[in-house]
A and B are shown apart, each in its own frame.
Chain A
Amino acid sequence: MSQKQEEENPAEETGEEKQDTQEKEGILPERAEEAKLKAKYPSLGQKPGGSDFLMKRLQKGQKYFDSGDYNMAKAKMKNKQLPSAGPDKNLVTGDHIPTPQDLPQRKSSLVTSKLAG
């Protein structure tokens, strides 16, 4: 197989050469993009593929509701409103206690697919 590749290279002027050039030219745009991203989000960690990112991927679908927390919070804040969910209802962090109203409605999709229509 490697022999075949060597034979085809001269005819093509660049299987690998062209790729090398592309990659060298490609370094600059990619680094420029990285600089843009770091400028927008200075607190972005060094290792993008690290544990935090993968953990988020593994926890897809997790919805937390603790009735104890919910009732305690309701009792403590009798006179105030409970902090409500922000635009991203899937992110449960900090003081936000998920309420039954916050959880997305269970969908029922027992309708025939339009591909079959």
Chain B
Amino acid sequence: FAGAGGGGCPWCFSQVKGAIDEDVAEADIISTVEFNYSGDLLATGDKGGRVVIFQREQENKSRPHSRGEYNVYSTFQSHEPEFDYLKSLEIEEKINKIRWLPQQNAAHFLLSTNDKTIKLWKISERDKRAEGYNLKDEDGRLRDPFRITALRVHVAFPMDLMVEASPRRIFANAHTYHINSISVNSDHETYLSADDLRINLWHLEITDRSFNIVDIKPANMEELTEVITAAEFHPHQCNVFVYSSSKGTIRLCDMRSSALCDRHSKFFEEPEDPSSRSFFSEIISSISDVKFSHSGRYMMTRDYLSVKVWDLNMESRPVETHQVHEYLRSKLCSLYENDCIFDKFECCWNGSDSAIMTGSYNNFFRMFDRDTRRDVTLEASRESSKPRASLKPRKVCTGGKRRKDEISVDSLDFNKKILHTAWHPVDNVIAVAATNNLYIFQDKIN
């Protein structure tokens, strides 16, 4: 798919959401993107604590090209800014992660979290209204009971679809440090939340109790050497989860072995060549995201310069390493000075686990086809956003001679970072968050 020879890149622009103006309000910066299990719903969270959910349009014979378009379904304020007076701590309303629950009835449920509090939201549809109540008039006033002489059954009339979001559970006060991950278990009853030093296990029905399953806080904080950066439950084995660290390691834990999983069952780390160690080594090895494959056989990690695929059966080294933007290695000094070296990029698998995607700078994002070993760099920009326009692969030039359509490393815009991307669970549809805009791309076959 990454562009077979003369066939051209199969990815086409589909839609872009968000304001066009140059002045981006901080609240509008998208901080998380997630498809639900069927791919019919696409949720985004932003720095202003708001959630916007898009729904895919059904196939329509009279408008064949509208099939697969995502339109606004619901939007609500999930979290608000808070101040913890006891600890003198400002709590941002920024939504760090959204995770959908598998659908069990007509309503949809999702978990959204900021730094401190996780909330379970119910999104339900109302498309009927009732008329003919016994005790109320049509305008809502109570009827005088003595005037009621006959019994009547109310009738349901269709009304314009109304989508309501309501908070059903609030899971608060369980994290001293900042929550970076939430992950729903395959048992559909529990989920985990991870902060810098601890991981907690929750039951979706119970908000006043949480079990601590990982605690890496040292007795003496001066001895702190690493923090937890991401965590996820295994897609099928409800007793297994992994968590990654700022030192580039991944630990797999089995909750059957003990109540507190401080001792890992498996430890994944790629051996480092000591002669190549530099001041930046540890910082760029910090893992910003970890994702299991849909099959559950592999997991993928994202560090600053690469994406690695690990076989869960082999702890000694990854089975694949894909360079995202190796040309940045000779820019590490300035990337450290402007803090970009601490940017946390996410990564994702396609539905069949045959391809992976991650973001980069200059609104570029990268896709790697694991079968053909091909990779491609694409750009999310308003310039290439004509309906169904094919995306043109981009190339960054590192050497002296720059070809006409290449861009040099020094011209890259490091303020345009694509940190969040999502891939439809079944189809070749991707959602890419570029600061305050959400781009949706589809492959030509659609």
- Given contacts A40-B337, A115-B30, 14 further A-B pairs with CB under 8 A are A8-B373, A19-B321, A26-B326, A30-B330, A48-B279, A57-B196, A57-B227, A58-B178, A60-B178, A61-B91, A62-B89, A63-B89, A114-B19, A115-B46
Residues of A within 8 A of B438 (CB): 115
> Nearest chain A CB to B243's CB is how many angstroms away?
16
- Among B47-55, B131-139, B145-153, B421-429, the one that faces the other chain is B47-55
What is the interface of chain A, defined by CB distance below 8 A to chain B?
1-2, 4-5, 8, 12, 19, 22-23, 26-27, 29-34, 36-38, 40, 44, 48-51, 54-55, 57-58, 60-65, 106-117
**A115, B329: Cβ atoms closer than 8 Å:** no
User: For A32, what are the chain B residues with a Cβ–Cβ distance below 8 Å?
Assistant: 330
Point out residues on B near A: beta carbons under 8 Å: 17-19, 27-28, 30, 44, 46, 48-50, 52, 72, 75, 77, 80-81, 83, 87-93, 115, 177-178, 196-197, 221-227, 246-247, 273, 275-276, 278-283, 286, 311, 313-314, 319, 321, 323, 326, 329-333, 336-337, 373, 436, 438
B224→A54 contact, CB < 8 A:
yes
Q: Kindly state the separation between the CA atoms of A58 and B225 in the bound complex, as whole angstroms.
A: 12
**What DSSP secondary structure best describes chain A's contact surface?**
helix
Residues of A within 8 A of B313 (CB): 1
Q: Among B52, B91, B115, which residue has the most Cβ atoms of chain A within 10 A?
A: B52
For residue A26, give the distance in angstroms from its CB to the closest CB of chain B. Answer: 5
- Chain B residues lying within 8 Å of A58, measured Cβ to Cβ, are 177-178, 196-197, 227
| Cβ distance B30 to chain A, nearest Cβ, rounded Å | 8
Task: Give the CA-CA distance A38 to B336 in the complex, in Å.
Answer: 12
With A48-B283, A106-B81, A114-B19 as known contacts, state yes or no: A26 contacts B329, CB within 8 Å. yes
In the bound complex, how far is the Cα of B314 from the Cα of A110, in angstroms?
A: 49
Asked if A27 and B225 make an inter-chain contact with CB atoms under 8 angstroms apart, the answer reads no
* Inter-subunit contact A65/B88 (CB<8 Å): yes
**In the assembly, what is the distance between CA of A57 and CA of B75, in Å?**
31
Taking CB atoms, residues of chain B closer than 8 Å to A111 are 27, 48
- Given A2-B319, A37-B336, is A54 in contact with B225 using a C-beta cutoff of 8 Å? yes
Given A57-B196, A109-B81, is A51 in contact with B329 using a C-beta cutoff of 8 Å?
no
Across the interface, do A48 and B282 meet the contact criterion of CB distance under 8 Å? yes
A4 shortest CB reach to chain B, Å: 8
Measured CA separation A31–B279 after assembly (Å): 8
B391 to chain A, nearest CB (A): 21
Contacting pair A61 B115 (CB below 8 A): yes
A64 to B225 Cα, complex, angstroms: 25
Say yes or no: A49 contacts B225, CB within 8 Å.
yes
CA distance A112 to B323 in the complex (A): 38
15 residue pairs from A and B, CB less than 8 Å apart: A1-B319, A8-B373, A22-B323, A23-B273, A27-B278, A29-B330, A30-B330, A37-B279, A44-B279, A49-B283, A110-B77, A112-B75, A113-B75, A115-B52, A117-B19
CA distance A63 to B247 in the complex (A): 28
CB < 8 Å neighbour of A34 from B81, B280, B337: B280
Q: Which 3 A-B pairs have the closest CB atoms?
A: A29-B330, A109-B48, A49-B282
* Residues in chain B near residue A57, CB distance under 8 A: 196, 227
Are A27 and B276 neighbours in the complex by a CB distance under 8 Å? yes
Contact, CB under 8 Å: A63 / B88: yes
C-alpha gap A62/B87 in the complex (Å): 8
**CB neighbours of B46 from chain A (8 A):** 113, 115
A62 adjacent to B311 (CB under 8 Å): no
Residues of B within 8 A of A26 (CB): 276, 326, 329
**In the complex, which residues of chain A have a beta carbon less than 8 angstroms from the beta carbon of B276?**
23, 26-27, 30
A36–B18 Cα gap in the complex (Å)?
40
